[in-house]
Structure 1
Amino acid sequence: MNEPLDRSGASLRVVVVDDHAMFRTGVRAEIERAGIVVAAEAEDVESAVSAITDAEPDVVLLDVHMPGGGGAEVMRRIARRGPATTFLALSVSDAAEDVIGIIRAGARGYVTKSISGPELVDAVARVAGGDAVFSPRLAGFVLDAFAGTIEVAQVDEDLDRLTEREREVMRLIARGYAYKEVAKELFISIKTVETHVSSVLRKLQLSSRHELTKWASDRRLI
């Protein structure tokens, strides 16, 4: 693989933003092996904005969900500060609302954390060169959103009623998880899961788990 370079011939410079230190370490090892320079790392919105402003990287590898408001909030704050920055979302989530939301906020691409090291290096180089890059399944969400197949405005309006934790619970319940499994996955009590499910059903004006699953499936949230 050729070393990824910017337009001046210098090595690409990247800021890695993710709230899991071990994941950042793995990403750094993979992309530095290919000659990409990791100019800085950050773990939340505040540290990300500071790191990106100071480092002025070619590309920001940005997690979607993290403390302080998430990837979209990072992009909003950076956009207010001056020159355009190129963002590549790198997330464990493959939910339609996350993909569409982060692209609408200004990301140049979206890949999941199941991506291989060489694929990630290629994605960074491509977005740095002006291409849009998506994991294969996720590209369909974006195309459907622009084609009107997914009613993005309605999805956003409904989801805005839910807290971040309620969204997590909603997605797991819709995928068929039992309350006990949701509690274990999110490190919360079963009672708390029940409370969140009741709140989700009330806010979305649904009456059963079956209706919730259909609601989420219709909007490609699972």
Structure 2
Amino acid sequence: GPCNAELKGLNNFVIYTIVLGNCLALRRILARAVRSGSDASVPFAGNIFEIARHAMSQTSFHDAEALNTVAQDLGLMNMERSLDIDMALKHVVTNAGASTQEVQTVWAGLPYAYAAAFFSEAWQNTTYDARNDVFNNNMHTSSIAMAELFKCLKENAGGPRVMFGTFFKVSSFLLLRMKATEKYALSFPLRGMFVYLEKVVQESGAVGRAILEEFVPYPLIHSSLMEIAALKAR
């Protein structure tokens, strides 16, 4: 098949990313449940957080990890851009030494690794369920993991915008060529792969759709979504 032994490590990389994505997705579900409970029993929790946020400068607010962690545990993580970062993951990334030059070099390669992952066996064995808008192996959760990792990086490590931009640029280049190559077009779920890019856009937050559309023609994205909508309607 199109995959070979040299991509074995890349396949494991994809699988571990899916596992991380599953964990992050579960944390989001728990946060929503806690928010629902806190609204009923502690209805002013959100107001307390808002008061604290307005009392701090933007820089101080972004650096206040304890405050952001509490807000996330209360299910308030999407109220501000900084709270869109999974604080537990950010803590792990920080402890991994993301501020050192050596580790920054490794982080800088993440967008290329995730783009190359489209050639992995994991992707080759993936099928897209249009009716439920999911992938059979939970590949959709890997978009959460990738986006959260990118968001954890500070500007001196490339920054989220650079990371997302690099991923969209490289992955769109690869997918468009896969689409034009028969052996890849027949072996990989290309329609689902373009939908996956859309999911990454949804997770990218402030980066927005413009970066993706800079590299992938909008009609191509639109046609994939329309085909999926037609399948859902059946």
TM-score normalized by structure 1?
A: 0.29
More helix by share: 2
Instruction: State the structure with bigger RCO (CA 8 A, min sep 6), 1 or 2.
Output: 2
TM-score normalized by structure 2?
A: 0.28
